[in-house]
C-alpha cells in the first residue's frame, strides 16, 4: 500500500513536469519560428514549410531593416524616450514615495487618497487627449515622457519598500545633521536597489512597448517610436512594409526579390523583442522580489 502511494506520487510528479515543459515550449517555439523566418529568404518563405530553422539562410531582411531610415529613426526615438523617461520617472517616483512614507507628514492620508483615487476612476481617453492637446504636448516627443512620469502603482510599491527601512538609520543621520533631502539621497536610495531596479524595469518596458501614444497622440512620422511602426505594419498588412521596400529601391536594385513585406515584418519583430530578451535574464530575479514587496508582504 505504501509502495503504491509512492509510485503514484512519482508518476504525478513526472506528469506535472512534462506539462510544465510543454507549456514552456508553447512560449519558446513561436519565437524560434519568427526567428527562423526572419533569417530566411523572404521569397522562399512564401512557399511555407519553415518551422524552427531557416531553410534558405539570408541576412537580407536585417540588412534591409537597418537600411530603412524610418526604422532607424524610430529606434532612436524609442531609445531616447526609454532612457530619459525611465531615469526621470524613477527619481521622481522615489521622491514622492519617500515623502508619502513620512508618517508625521500633515495631510498624508488625504494626499495618498488623492493619488490612489486616480487608479479607480479616470476621465476617459478623450478628455485626456484634449488636455494633452491644450498643454501643447501632442505631436512633440514630450508626450511620451511627461504624461507617464508617475504611476500610482509604482509609487505604492516604492513607498511600501521605504517603509521597511529601519527608521533608526534616518534618525541617526538626522542627529548627525543631515537634511531630509540628504537622508533621501545618501541613505534611502542606496538601500533601495532592488525596488529601484524593479520600478526601473517596469518603466523601461512600458516605454519600450508603448505604441498607443505614438499612434494617437503624434502625427509627425519622424516622431513615431518602433512599437508604433510595427503596429502600422501589422494593421496595414502588406501595404506599409511593401511601400518601405519600394522607397528604398530594393526592387530595382535586385533582379530577384528576396525581401518581402512579411519577412521585413519578422525582422522588425525580432528587433523590437531582442533588447527585452537580452536584459530580461539579468533583472528577472529583482522584479519577482519587487512585485512580492508590493503585493503579498503584509
Partner 1 sequence: MELAASKKVANPSPKQKKNVKPKKITVENVWQHRVQYMMLLPCILFFILFSYLPMAGMILAFKEFRFDTGIFGGAWVGLEYFERFFQDPQSWTFIKNTLIISSMKLILALPFPIILALMFNEVQSNKLRGFFQSIMYMPHFLSWVVVVGIIQSILAPNTGLLNQFISFLGGDGSTYFLMEEEYFHSVMFWSYIWKDIGWNSIIYFAAIMSISPALYEAAAIDGANKLRQIWHITLPGIRPTILILFILSLGNILSAGFDQIYLLQMPGNTEVSEIIDTYVIKTGLESGQFGYATAVGMMQGVVGLIVVVIVNRFSNKMFNTSLW
Site for partner 1 in 19-58 (CB under 8 A): 19-21, 23-24, 26-28, 30-31, 33-34, 37, 45-51
CB-nearer residue toward partner 1: 37 or 245: 37
Q: By the 8 A CB rule, do 64 and 250 touch? A: yes
Q: By the 8 A CB rule, do 155 and 119 touch? A: no
Closest-CA residue to 193 (of 163, 148, 158, 153): 158
CB-nearer residue toward partner 1: 144 or 211: 211
* Segment 182 to 201, residues that bind partner 1, using CB under 8 A: 184
CB of 17 to partner 1, least distance (A): 7
Give the number of other Cβ atoms within 10 Å of residue 10's Cβ.
10
142 binds partner 1 (CB under 8 A): no
CB-nearer residue toward partner 1: 107 or 255: 107
178 binds partner 1 (CB under 8 A): no
Closest-CA residue to 195 (of 271, 100, 291): 291
CB of 233 to partner 1, least distance (A): 8
Report the alpha-carbon distance of residue 200 to residue 221 in Å, rounded.
28
Residue count, binding to partner 1 (CB under 8 A)? 110
- DSSP secondary structure letters along 231-278: HHHHHTTHHHHHHHHHHHTHHHH-SS----HHHHHHHHHHHHHHHHHH
Count Cα neighbours of 6 within 13 Å in the Cβ-side half-sphere.
3
Report the alpha-carbon distance of residue 63 to residue 42 in Å, rounded.
12
Residues 74, 211, 224, 261: which binds partner 1 (CB under 8 A)? 211
* Segment 244 to 263, residues that bind partner 1, using CB under 8 A: 262
Residues 70, 73, 140, 209: which binds partner 1 (CB under 8 A)? 209
CB of 253 to partner 1, least distance (A): 26
CB of 179 to partner 1, least distance (A): 7
CB-nearer residue toward partner 1: 59 or 277: 277
239 binds partner 1 (CB under 8 A): no
CB-nearer residue toward partner 1: 115 or 191: 115
Angle between helices 261-295 and 60-67 (to 10 degrees): 80
The C-alpha cell that represents 32 in the structure block:
524560434
227 binds partner 1 (CB under 8 A): yes
CB-nearer residue toward partner 1: 81 or 265: 265
* Segment 87 to 126, residues that bind partner 1, using CB under 8 A: 92, 95-96, 98-100, 102-109, 111-116, 118-126
The C-alpha cell that represents 121 in the structure block:
476612476
Residue 40's SS3 state is strand
CB of 252 to partner 1, least distance (A): 26
Residues, the chain = 298
The C-alpha cell that represents 289 in the structure block:
522580489
CB of 116 to partner 1, least distance (A): 6
Amino acid at each position: 500500500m505504501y509502495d503504491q502511494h509512492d509510485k503514484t506520487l512519482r508518476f504525478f510528479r513526472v506528469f506535472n513536469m512534462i506539462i510544465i515543459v510543454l507549456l514552456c515550449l508553447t512560449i519558446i517555439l513561436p519565437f524560434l519560428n519568427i526567428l527562423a523566418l526572419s533569417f530566411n529568404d523572404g521569397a522562399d518563405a512564401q512557399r511555407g514549410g519553415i518551422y524552427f530553422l531557416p531553410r534558405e539562410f539570408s541576412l537580407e531582411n536585417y540588412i534591409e531593416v537597418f537600411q530603412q531610415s524610418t526604422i532607424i529613426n524610430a529606434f532612436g526615438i524609442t531609445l531616447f524616450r526609454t532612457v530619459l523617461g525611465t531615469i526621470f520617472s524613477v527619481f521622481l517616483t522615489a521622491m514622492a514615495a519617500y515623502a508619502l512614507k513620512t508618517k508625521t507628514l500633515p495631510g498624508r492620508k488625504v494626499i495618498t487618497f488623492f493619488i490612489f483615487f486616480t487608479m479607480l476612476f479616470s476621465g476617459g481617453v478623450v478628455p485626456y487627449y484634449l488636455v494633452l492637446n491644450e498643454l501643447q504636448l501632442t505631436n512633440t516627443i514630450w508626450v511620451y515622457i511627461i504624461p507617464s512620469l508617475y504611476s500610482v502603482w509604482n509609487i505604492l510599491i516604492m513607498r511600501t519598500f521605504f517603509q521597511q527601512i529601519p527608521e533608526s538609520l534616518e534618525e541617526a543621520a538626522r542627529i548627525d545633521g543631515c537634511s531630509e533631502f540628504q537622508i533621501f539621497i545618501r541613505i534611502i536610495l542606496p538601500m533601495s536597489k532592488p525596488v529601484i531596479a524593479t520600478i526601473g524595469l517596469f518603466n523601461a518596458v512600458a516605454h519600450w512597448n508603448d505604441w498607443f501614444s505614438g499612434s494617437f497622440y503624434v502625427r509627425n512620422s519622424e516622431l513615431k517610436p518602433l512599437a508604433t511602426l510595427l503596429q502600422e505594419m501589422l494593421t496595414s498588412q502588406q501595404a506599409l512594409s511593401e511601400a518601405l521596400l519600394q522607397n528604398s529601391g530594393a526592387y530595382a536594385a535586385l533582379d530577384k526579390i528576396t525581401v518581402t513585406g512579411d519577412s521585413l515584418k519578422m525582422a522588425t519583430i525580432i528587433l523590437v523583442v531582442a533588447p527585452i530578451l537580452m536584459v530580461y535574464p539579468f533583472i528577472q530575479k529583482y522584479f519577482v522580489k519587487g512585485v512580492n514587496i508590493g503585493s503579498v508582504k503584509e
